[in-house]
Amino acid sequence: MVVRYERRKYKTILNKYRFIDSWFWCRYSVNPYSGCEFACTYCDSRSHRYHLHPDFDQVIYVKEEVGRMLDLRLSRARTLLPDVVAIGGSGDAYQPAELEFQNTRRCLEVLLRHHYPVFISTKSELVRRDADLLGSIARDSHCTLTATITTFDDDLVRLVEPGASPPVDRLGALEEVKGRRPEVQTGVNLIPVIPYLTDDEGNLQEVVSRSRKAGVDFILFGSGMTMRDDQARWFLTRLGESFPELLPRYLDLYEASFDPVGGYQGNYGAKSGYLNRIDKMILQLCEESGLPFRARRFIPGDFRRTNYLISEIFLNEAYEARIRGGRWKNLHWAGMNIGNLRESLEDIAEREELRGIRNVDEGLEGRILELIERFKVS
């Protein structure tokens, strides 16, 4: 397959989320390219919701003047506050196009000038090139670099991530960046855990163990994989070609029907019992290896400082409670809403209005007051 590059003008470059992402801690996102050469068979970007062109792994749109556009957006912003920018959500920021066009590097240089922290997820060893720049961002504000690793099985990698750098090279890139710039937070995204292909304990143990030996700071994991419209059709078609015996198991797991012509009809996610079992298995592996399973978030120095510290605690607790089968939704949404506040928790507490924050009940009000006092001292 020959990949073709096309330069295109775009009206916007920076996306702002309604809520800060509770896994990657990003408020904004930037995609230096539209499309991705890695052609991962499980990629959710193939679904209709992302509005990408259907041949997005064969024709890569190179966004023109991304550095200038991003600089103008941040320079003229009246309401934006520096916060984490996720780089390359719907297409890898370090795919081969970056060697020629360097859109990602230009974006990073602009974000550094404007003091915005970043979170990068990649499947490419090319990120080694920017180690010094990432270190500068980390010293200036905050920088997290992750590599997605689902398996070290070469045969499976060729099926599910055919265009990406070999996993051993991705892990080596993390190790090199961390060695050169220890201030950069590094991690492995064990996302997605692909049902019946990468979900056996041996594979998961290997990813966790090798990540720990490489010296990463954390590992993020997500059991199962998403299934919808063209993304499901693409994946299940290739699954049927390589592992036809697994197709009935997938249809049962997602309570779905499928044929290449009629398409996919079924659930977005796998059955909850399956997801809980895999999540608990990986959680135990992380705990046994002493490897954190959450990333440390960026903490700004303005009115958001205590808000973000308390939000991080609540969201981390809710994440673990969900996996262990405890109550978590109210705690999760309290954390999300606290992270979205436009004034400090200290000011709200002084007015005795903490209960006015959505999902903050009497018990959480007491915890917030205790944590405010703790963080005053620290």
d(C-alpha 297, C-alpha 147), whole Å = 17
Range(s) of the chain covered by CATH 1.10.150 = 305-377
pLDDT bracket for residue 49 (50, 70, 90): confident
At the fourth CATH level, the homologous superfamily of domain 4-225+270-289 is: Aldolase class I (3.20.20.70)
For residue 327, the model assigns a pLDDT of 96
List pLDDT tens digits, range 202-257: 999 999 999 999 999 999 998 889 999 989 999 999 999 999 999 999 999 999 99
- Fold exhibited by the domain 305-377: DNA polymerase; domain 1 (1.10.150)
For residue 51, the model assigns a pLDDT of 67
pLDDT bracket for residue 378 (50, 70, 90): low
Which residues make Cβ contacts (< 8 Å) with residue 35, sequence separation at least 6? 52, 53, 56, 57, 58, 59, 60, 61, 91
For residue 90, the model assigns a pLDDT of 81
For residue 1, the model assigns a pLDDT of 63
pTM: 0.96
d(C-alpha 361, C-alpha 299), whole Å = 25
Range(s) of the chain covered by CATH 3.20.20.70 = 4-225+270-289
List pLDDT tens digits, range 165-200: 999 999 999 999 999 999 999 999 999 999 999 999
Residue 143 has pLDDT above 70, yes or no: yes
CB of 150 closer than 8 Å to CB of 200: no
d(C-alpha 132, C-alpha 117), whole Å = 15
List pLDDT tens digits, range 271-301: 999 999 999 999 999 999 999 999 999 999 9
Lateral strand order in the sheet of 28-30? 14-16, 28-30, 85-87, 118-122, 143-148, 185-193, 218-223
